[in-house]
Amino acid sequence: MEVVGGYRESIVTTMKKNCIAVVSANMGGYDTVKPVPRYEPGIDYFYISDRDDVLTEAALQGWMPLKCDWSTIEVPAWAEHAPDRYRAKVIKLAPWAFPQEKYRHYLWIDSSITLLDGWWQSALNHLGSHDILLHSHRNRNSVYEEAAFSMRMVKYEAEQNSLASALEQMATGLNIPLISGLYETGFILRRHTATQDDLARIWWQAQETYRTTQDQVTFCIALWEAQLDVAVFPFTLPNVGKQSQILALDAHNETKRYGTDSNKNDSALHKEHHNTSKEGV
């Protein structure tokens, strides 16, 4: 619990010996709170935020609200000055921080995702006996292509050195094949196993090493090192504004829905974050 120890007690008091823990995070009120699907026994929905108004809305939408107190959380260097959307990834990368022994499965969803009624039937069916269930990337199937493509994107312009370092390590240090799969990280269903803890720690360390918010790249590095048995949906994540048979996907809000803590926009904050953490990359 060293990473998210600030809300250990609130989690412990609400958890039961259930089948699935669904977790999402929304820092700074970046996104609107999506409603949970129809109630199903054995599935608990946890919503983590650092804003009380967001948590109030989460409770109204059917979530179990959990307060994130940044003063009690070990914030990694890559997220210390990052904008709110990227700070949510601190929670995303640290599932070992939750007492998962109470659950057989753990699902992370980005705050832009709305789960549809009965989603769990399709998800568990496709997971089968595998360790983890993911969506393949809709446009690329190589982490090398993703890293190279990201280096040309405006939102990662301050991370070119970080991504170049990751590319070199993948090719010469880890010997990851050119075509080894590329996965979305907005929906990650994991079986509760010790290997999953290993994956989370490797992923966390990769983020620390390369100091990039491009978690699809570091996730593929972690998957390769952990050697998990991966299951993949036969369909990709839907386009923004569309839905698949299990979920709907919205765009992340460009302006904060629940008020503004700063007059800096997300892009400016992102650039500032990397300008303050380039040493050692």
- 44 pLDDT tier (thresholds 50, 70, 90): very high
C-alpha span between 195 and 192 (Å, rounded) = 8
C-alpha span between 201 and 195 (Å, rounded) = 10
Residue 138: partners with Cβ closer than 8 Å, 6 or more residues away: 236, 237
pLDDT at 186: 94
pLDDT at 175: 84
* Encoded amino acid at 224, one letter: W
Global confidence as pTM:
0.81
Which of 52-56, 254-258, 266-270 has the least mean pLDDT?
Answer: 266-270
pLDDT at 12 over 50: no
Q: What is the mean pLDDT of the chain?
A: 80
pLDDT at 219: 92
pLDDT at 122: 95
Calculate the alpha carbon distances from 158 to 141, 212, 257 in Å: 24, 9, 26
Counted residue by residue, the chain has a size of 281
Helix axes 194-210 and 215-226, enclosed angle (nearest 10): 140
Q: Are 206 and 101 in contact (CB under 8 A)?
A: no
Q: Are 65 and 59 in contact (CB under 8 A)?
A: yes
pLDDT at 259 over 60: no
- 64 pLDDT tier (thresholds 50, 70, 90): very high
Q: Please choose, from the candidates 254, 257, 276, the residue with its C-alpha nearest in 3D space to the C-alpha of residue 266.
A: 254
For residue 54, the SS3 value is helix
Between CA 157 and CA 205, with CA 86 as vertex, the angle to 5 degrees is 90
pLDDT at 167 over 90: no
Between 142 and 192, where is the model more confident? 142
Helix axes 143-151 and 215-226, enclosed angle (nearest 10): 160
